[in-house]
A and B are shown apart, each in its own frame.
Chain A
Amino acid sequence: MMALLMRDLKLAFRAGGGFGFAILFFFIVTLLLAFGIGPDVVLLGKIAPGALWVCALLACLLSLDRLFALDYEDGTLDLLTVAPIPLEAVVFAKSCAHWITTGLPLALVAPLLGIFLDLPAEGYLWVFLSLLAGTPALSMIGAFGAALTLGLRRGGLLLSVLVLPLYVPTLIFGAEVARRGTVGMDVQTPFLLLVALSFGALALLPFAAAAVLRINLR
């Protein structure tokens, strides 16, 4: 499992691996949002926590269709299915790699983009922490969606349609943590729920995703 994780990381960081696209996309969408809303700093500051969450979520979505597709096309997934590690572990390792190359960088960059949106000073920490706690769920749910749409025509489009509704609870709790943290309210309840959601997704969804992969590989 570690071998798979390390290989995925290596592939992502090498030239042509696609690492950094999600962050670039995050950056551009955030700027576009500011252009769309207008330079009203009060308004921007107010919507910044939620806006950053939505933009990060879209950036995460963008990178999902590559999660299994490359290994599917070159036959690696077939070979891994008959290898001595369970497919659930394969899904878990690949989701972790996706989180390290996408979710974690997004969480790190989000406070910086907060500057553009005039995020109040109290918000930086909570935007970062909420994304740190919430992005594992986004990666895992996305892995399930990617497994579901593997090898389909127009799979990328279908993936968004399937995954975005599944992202609703994570988004609500995550944005709520960021919003409450920014205005100085108590964040304990939504933060714990967000963490629970991430752990729940990490514990259960590999089974669903592996089941779906087996069906798609038949």
Chain B
Amino acid sequence: MVYGHLMILSVKDLSVSRGGRLLLSGLNFEVLPSEALVLTGPNGLGKTSLLRTLAGLQPQAGGEIITENETAVYAGHADGLKSGLSVIENLRFWADIFASRHRLNDALEQFDLSDLKNRLAGRLSAGQKRRLGLARLVLSERPLWLLDEPTVSLDEPSRQGFYKTLQTHFDDGGGAVIVSHTPLALARSPKVMDLSLFAAQGFFTTEVDAFL
């Protein structure tokens, strides 16, 4: 699987809000193929809101997000796993949604889930669940991965496995925007952006502004 893009994501003067309050403003960045962008900053700054905005889950408060359709796949705090289904059934469901059954074995192997294939997801440990959640990224076959704290609850071997998967993704020409508090040990060191520089405390979206 090789993605053929010159640029995966371009963000111009983006503002992000949550509940009528402007959190971040004046964001400008690009994600090129084989490139990772790591976002850092204290809690409550709007990192998750930014990722959700990039994923198209919430409207932006201003500015532009330039991507092609169906570029991004989002992995948030909740992995969308069904504890009543087995590992393979969970994955097969997402493979059907993304029409990518041929990648099923790849996903199982890359996240070291082959042995757990028939276990119910509800019986997995937190780290195993996380791996299962991340395996969905491989199935999406989308070039832009938006990851919210992906390494939380992963032990060292799983973390290495995850880095390897990320590396394969970058080798294929994919990109990623990653929110992370811990530094990521990637082969090519990623761009790091401190979001606290773009904090917009005390400002409002035009929606609230209209009443002042």
Contact = CB atoms under 8 A, between A and B. Distances in A.
Contact of A217 (B57, B82, B92): B57
A74 B74 contact: no
Interface residues of B, number: 28
Contacts of B52: 78
A82 B84 contact: no
B73 A15 contact: no
Contact of A4 (B58, B77, B92, B97): B97
B179 interface: no
Contacts of B85: 7, 10-11, 14
Nearest to B141: A84
A82 B80 contact: no
Contacts of A14: 84-85
B112 interface: no
Interface string B69-88: 01011101111111011000
Contacts of B77: 75
A218 B98 contact: no
Nearest to B77: A75
Contacts of A80: 97
Interface of B: 52, 55-59, 70, 72-74, 76-82, 84-85, 89, 92-94, 96-99, 136
A218 B18 CA distance: 9
Contact of B72 (A7, A76, A82): A82
A82 B55 contact: yes
A75 B74 CA distance: 11
B84 A15 contact: yes
8 contacts: A3-B96, A11-B85, A76-B82, A82-B55, A82-B56, A82-B73, A83-B97, A217-B57
Interface in A66-86: 71, 73-76, 78-85
A30 B136 CA distance: 45
A165 interface: no
Contact of B57 (A7, A16, A82): A82
Given A7-B85, A10-B85, A15-B84, A78 B74 contact: yes
A84 B79 contact: no
Given A75-B77, A78-B74, A79-B74, A84 B98 contact: yes
Contact of B84 (A16, A76, A85): A16
A180 to B, nearest CB: 43
Contacts of A169: none
Given A82-B74, A85-B97, A10 B89 contact: yes
Interface of A: 2-4, 7, 10-11, 14-17, 71, 73-76, 78-85, 217-218
A79 B80 contact: yes
B30 to A, nearest CB: 21
A89 B73 CA distance: 19
Given A82-B74, A85-B97, 9 more contacts: A11-B84, A14-B85, A15-B84, A74-B78, A75-B77, A78-B78, A81-B57, A84-B99, A218-B58
A74 B85 CA distance: 14
A74 B73 contact: no
A17 B80 contact: no
B80 A75 contact: yes
A3 B93 contact: yes
A17 B80 CA distance: 16
Contact of A75 (B72, B73, B78, B98): B78
A218 B96 CA distance: 25
Contacts of A75: 76-80
B139 to A, nearest CB: 11
